[in-house]
Structure 1
């Protein structure tokens, strides 16, 4: 039966599923660390954090659903670009970084520190990832059941556990907000914006858009406009939950700063808070929260990547891709988190600005009408600067080119691509208008 909209219950389940796809371990770590570092300026920084950690990811889901997939959206730039960029996105956020990181991060953060010295860390990591990816494999085999499994079980459980942590902080307050430190003292808004940028959720959104669209269609909504409309509503639900949870975590981090002082990361901040409130059981609570958050994100990434790669070659089925991705991700997860990040983060930094501008272009497409010159110049300018910047981060300098890019506004803050991207967009619009005027003049001369 072809529906025009979902029931309120099904819409809520899809919204909860989308929230759980986004909410991984990184999303647990960044807000409390921001709160601890920003202190009294936490909410200025969080205002900017919400833009890049919530706004753009939700818009990304809508953009992909509206375009009928990431590949269709990227083809507006160029067919060759579409193939290269789409594969790079799925590999980077999937089996080459996102999935292995999700499998190893909860172990590194909340299991390894409590292992007895007599237990081999290598063996413990292998056993942990074996169980983790076995569960992820089972959940990913039936993507049409993800809405029910994640929306009815996993996400409510995760939200309940986070609520337990927050209620505990209300009953037993951790402390007062500390003083702002580092860049948060002088530019909390810019720093908060960049912290949201580092969550990489916008790239994940380009993967999840097609998963959400398929989930909506599995509930009986087939017409494209209705799918997009439902995706927007689900995005609002997921975005609201993200804002609420991020606010809770930032508050906990800010109060911990006044009591415990600075820590090296958000996981340590949360460990201090939960241990202070609940004692040793707090460590168990945090371990379960981290594992559930990473599991839901892994399932979303495995599902979206398998669905995409199965369309490239009909010789390898969706289920076989799930097996391949689970096995390869488990193997990489056992290499260690540090090695994974060292190789993959520069690649993500190069493609993230391109992903952001693709979303901006997609949301403005009613004005641009899929103009290849506008899409092409915008992505060319943004991508060129972001690639030069990423090469510089790994020690590869391009002489005059690197020096030229380093003079761009906000380059030292990692946002040097912003001005060139909008210059490319403006130039593309000018060329498009001039072309249309030239064609109109030629037609007019033929008539006369």
Structure 2
């Protein structure tokens, strides 16, 4: 069958690449991307450099690889990434990813973070619940309106909201560089970061949810690039990959600065309970009362861009696989469900999202790597099945260990934790899935490459007989 040709055969202009990259940046960079790096800086102290390297692996390199995975496999969404394992697995994986970064955890967090950090400090404590209710209603109402027409997403996020966010963010950076609170190299590190700063930074990168989001945003990015006339799959993939490199490079730079700023705050403040408090401290130090207003604006703008991407990706993917329900109906469901979850509050959302992230991230990482390198083994389902199969048990154990004490410290949870610590290597570092996944890869690739040889041997033997 003849491959679809580009509606626009000419190379894209630099301006087009900038808009796509800006859109992808805006979709990626949301609530967790601001608060978790700053908190990491406070936790790591003088060990911030090594912790930053670990954080960049899961918060920058992995999301970039997720975009490349979409490009290499010419996928249009997270469903296609899991398709080599069969339609049932692909659908289940898609639903779990979208539920996690969508109405259960990720999307509600885009409203609760700007409210808790930027707006709530300006309200009397008695108005906190009512304030969150009103703020989240307006927030998800705006997300719905911006996403209502799919063609508006690239224009609104890439050309308007994202540049405004960057302008506000870099004003804070300028103040931090010209008048630093203290020397990052002289700050004390917390106990966990004194000996395993890289791995703790690596695990902190899970909280951004960007590797999961990168898979889910695939359909949104592919659609946007098609609107520029790049309808040929290979051309679309190249544009998507280039935009991904530009966007994630910019995000990586911002992470480094945020982690460094977080470390410098230790000369004035103690380690905060979470990154939202740390960011509040940082802005208040430099801008005083005005800082709260700036902070509320900054967080709301960046979180709104991410919310738009999340609700649109959810609606696009679910409409594609459940077409009897329209894109706009799925969009409305997503916004209403996220509004409901958001009103449980930020602390509850973060507490219960960690176990799901510990379960899903190992699967996401191995599927992303398998997709990127899939041309080497022709996307052989056997390779996929062995790697994912060997990853399942440690992922389940990590999930149980990350649950709140009511589960993790129960007799059942403690028994599984003891088994995990004594049987699986690197369990104490949260990396116990690595060795089983590697064994699955060796077995799968060995089978793939030896299968033709074994087939020829069988054929020769049967001929001799």
Q: TM-score, structure 1 length as denominator? A: 0.95
Q: Distance in 1 between matches of 2:42 and 2:402?
A: 27
Q: Distance in 2 between matches of 1:326 and 1:125?
A: 15
Partner residue of 1:9?
15
Partner residue of 2:37?
31
Q: Distance in 2 between matches of 1:123 and 1:197?
A: 31
Question: Structure 1 residue 208: deviation in Å?
Answer: 0.9
Residue by residue over 1:243-293, the C-alpha shift from the partner in whole angstroms, topping out at 9 and shown as x without a partner, is 121122112111111222322222222211211111110111111111112
Whether 2:135 is the aligned partner of 1:128: answer: yes
Whether the aligned pair in 1 keeps the contact of 2:358 and 2:402 (CA below 8 Å) is no
Q: Distance in 2 between matches of 1:268 and 1:330?
A: 23
Q: Distance in 2 between matches of 1:168 and 1:184?
A: 28
Partner residue of 2:4?
none
Q: Secondary structure at the match of 2:104?
A: coil
| Number of aligned residue pairs | 447
Task: Decide whether aligned partners of structure 1 residues 212 and 127 sit closer, same or farther in structure 2, where only a CA change above 3 A counts.
Answer: same
Q: Distance in 2 between matches of 1:393 and 1:38?
A: 21
Partner residue of 2:102?
94
Whether the aligned pair in 1 keeps the contact of 2:106 and 2:209 (CA below 8 Å) is no
Partner residue of 1:420?
436
Question: Structure 1 residue 52: deviation in Å?
Answer: 0.9
Task: Decide whether aligned partners of structure 1 residues 402 and 175 sit closer, same or farther in structure 2, where only a CA change above 3 A counts.
Answer: closer
Whether 2:365 is the aligned partner of 1:345: answer: no
Unaligned ranges ≥5, structure 1: none
Q: Distance in 2 between matches of 1:256 and 1:304?
A: 37
Question: Structure 1 residue 393: deviation in Å?
Answer: 3.3
Question: Structure 1 residue 398: deviation in Å?
Answer: 7.3
Question: Structure 1 residue 110: deviation in Å?
Answer: 2.0
Partner residue of 1:406?
421
Q: Distance in 2 between matches of 1:175 and 1:287?
A: 25
Whether 2:58 is the aligned partner of 1:43: answer: no
Q: Which of 186, 198, 208 is equivalent to 2:207?
A: 198
Whether the aligned pair in 2 keeps the contact of 1:378 and 1:428 (CA below 8 Å) is yes
Q: Which of 310, 314, 319 is equivalent to 2:319?
A: 310
Residue by residue over 1:161-188, the C-alpha shift from the partner in whole angstroms, topping out at 9 and shown as x without a partner, is 0111111223333222222222222222
Q: CA RMSD in A?
A: 1.9
Whether the aligned pair in 1 keeps the contact of 2:30 and 2:110 (CA below 8 Å) is yes
Whether the aligned pair in 2 keeps the contact of 1:31 and 1:266 (CA below 8 Å) is yes
Partner residue of 2:85?
77
Question: Structure 1 residue 78: deviation in Å?
Answer: 2.7
Residue by residue over 1:294-316, the C-alpha shift from the partner in whole angstroms, topping out at 9 and shown as x without a partner, is 11111111000000110122221
- Which runs of structure 2 are paired with 1:263-412 in the superposition (5 Å)? 263-394=272-403, 395=407, 397=412, 403-407=418-422, 408-412=424-428
Whether the aligned pair in 2 keeps the contact of 1:139 and 1:146 (CA below 8 Å) is yes
Partner residue of 1:149?
156
Unaligned ranges ≥5, structure 2: 1-6
Whether the aligned pair in 2 keeps the contact of 1:62 and 1:209 (CA below 8 Å) is no
Question: Structure 1 residue 356: deviation in Å?
Answer: 0.5
Partner residue of 1:253?
262
Q: Distance in 1 between matches of 2:9 and 2:120?
A: 49
Q: TM-score, structure 2 length as denominator? A: 0.91
